[in-house]
Structure 1
Amino acid sequence: MSDEFGDRAFDEVLTRTARIAADWLGSLDRRPVGWAVTLDELRERLGGPLPDGPVDPLTVVEELVEAAEPGMVAIPSGRYFGFVIGGGLPAAVAADWLTTVWDQNPGLYACGPSASVAEEVAGEWLRDLFGLPAGSSYAFVPGCQTAHLTCLAAARHHVLRQAGWNVEEDGLCGAPPVRIVVGARRHATIDRTLRLLGFGTATLTVVPADEQGRMDVTALRTVLPGGPAIVCAQAGEVNTGAFDDLAAIADVTEAAGAWLHVDGAFGLWVLASPAVRHLAAGAQRADSWAFDAHKWLNVPYDSGVAFCAHPEPHRAAISVTADYLIQGGAGQPRDAIDWTPGFSRRARGFPVYAALRSLGRRGVADLVERCCAHARTFADGLAAVPGCEVIGEVVINQVLFRFGDDATTDRVLRHVVDSGEAWLSGTVAGGRRAIRLSVCNWRTGDDDVRRTLEAFRRAAAS
Structure 2
Amino acid sequence: MVDWEGPLSEAYERATKYLGELPDRRVGPRATSEELHKALGGPLPTAPTEPRDVIAQLAEGVEDGLLPSGSGRFFGFVFGGATPAALAADWLTTTWDQNAGLYAASPAGAVAEDVAARWLVELFGLPGVTSVGFVTGAQMANFTGLAAARHDVLRRAGWDANLDGLIGAPPIRVLAGAERHDTIDRALRFLGLGTNCIVPIAVDGQGRIRVEALESALEDEGPQIVCAQVGNVNTGAIDPIREICDLAHQRGAWVHVDGAFGLWAAVSDELRSLVDGIDLADSWASDAHKWLNVPYDSGLVLCAHPEAHRAAMSIRAAYLIQDENGERDPLDYNPEFSRRARGIPVYAALRALGRSGIAEIVDRCHALAVRFADALRAEGVEVLNEVVLNQVLVRFGDDELTRRVVDAVQQEGTCWMSGTTWQGRAAMRISVSNWTTDEFDVDRSVQAILRCLRAQQ
**Fold match, TM over 0.5?**
yes
Matched, 1:308 2:291: no
1:118 and 2:112 are equivalent in the alignment? yes
Once the two structures are TM-superposed, the CA of residue 405 in structure 1 deviates from its matched residue by 1.2
Q: Percent identity?
A: 55
Q: Which amino acid aligns with 1:106?
A: A
Alignment check: 8 A CA contact 1:385 1:460 kept: no
Query: Partner amino acid for 1:374?
Result: L
Question: Are 1:329 and 2:342 counterparts?
Answer: no
Residues 172, 197 of structure 2: 8 Å contact kept: no
Normalised by the size of structure 2, how large is the TM-score? 0.98
Looking at structure 2, the residues matched to 249 and 368 of structure 1 have their Cα atoms a distance apart, in angstroms, of 25
**Could you tell me which residue of structure 1 aligns to residue 452 of structure 2?**
459
Structure 1 counterpart of 2:227? 232
Q: Distance in 1 between matches of 2:298 and 2:32?
A: 29
Q: Does the alignment pair 1:160 with 2:154?
A: yes
- The amino acid of 2:238's aligned partner reads F
Question: Which digits, 9 at most, give the CA deviation of each residue in 1:78-128, with x for residues without a partner?
Answer: 000000000000000000000000001110011111110000000000000
Distance 1:109 1:392 in 2: 46
Is 1:420 aligned with 2:413?
Answer: yes
Determine the C-alpha separation between the residues in 1 that align with 2:64 and 2:280: 47
- Tell me by how many angstroms 1:430 deviates: 2.5
Task: Please name the residue that 2:176 is paired with.
Answer: 182
Q: Name the SS of the counterpart of 1:27 in structure 2.
A: helix
CA distance in 1, matches of 2:153, 2:214: 18
Map Cα deviations across residues 150-184 of structure 1 (whole Å, 9 max, x no partner): 11111111111111110000000011111111110
Question: Residue 424 of structure 1: CA displacement?
Answer: 0.9
1:283-333 Cα shifts (integer Å, max 9, x gaps): 110000000000000000000010000011111111001111001122x11
Structure 2 distance, partners of 1:426, 1:23, is 31
SS in 1 for 2:149: helix
Residue aligning to 1:409: 402
1:249 corresponds to 2:252:
no
Paired residue type of 1:183: G
What does residue range 250-269 of structure 1 map to in structure 2 within 5 Å?
250-269=245-264
Aligned 8 A contact 2:104 2:324 in 1: no
Match of 1:272 among 264, 267, 270: 267
SS of 1:343 mapped into structure 2: coil
Cα distance in 2 for partners of 1:418, 1:228 equals: 49
Q: Partners of 2:197 and 2:126 in 1: how far apart?
A: 31
Q: Distance in 2 between matches of 1:415 and 1:222?
A: 45
1:96-135 to 2 correspondences below 5 Å:
96-135=90-129
Q: 1:295 aligns with which of 287, 290, 296?
A: 290
After the TM superposition, which residues 45-124 of structure 1 pair with which residues of structure 2 at under 5 Å, given as runs? 45-124=39-118
1: CA distance, partners of 2:31 / 2:331: 42
2: distance between equivalents of 1:316 and 1:415? 50
Q: Distance in 2 between matches of 1:228 and 1:415?
A: 49
Tell me, in whole angstroms, the C-alpha distance in 1 between the residues paired with 2:409 and 2:29: 13
Does the CA contact (< 8 Å) of 1:89 and 1:355 recur in 2?
A: yes
- CA deviations on 1:324-350 (whole Å, 9 max, x unpaired) are 1001122x1111111111110010111
Q: Deviations over 1:60-83 (max 9, x none)?
A: 100011111000011110000000
2:103–2:324 CA contact under 8 A, matched in 1: no
- Cα shift readout 1:3-37 (whole Å, capped 9, x = no counterpart): 5xx1xx21111112111101001111221110011
Rounded Cα–Cα distance in structure 1 between residues aligned with 2:111 and 2:79 = 28
Provide structure 2 residue ranges, at least 5 long, that are not aligned to the other structure: none
Q: Read off the aligned partner of 2:440 and give its amino acid letter.
A: D
Give the gaps of 5 or more residues in structure 1: none
Q: 1:357 corresponds to which residue?
A: 351
Secondary structure of the residue aligned to 1:369 is: helix
Q: CA deviation at 1:385?
A: 2.3
1:334 maps to a residue whose letter is R
Length-normalised TM-score, structure 1:
0.97
Q: Number of residues paired by the alignment?
A: 454
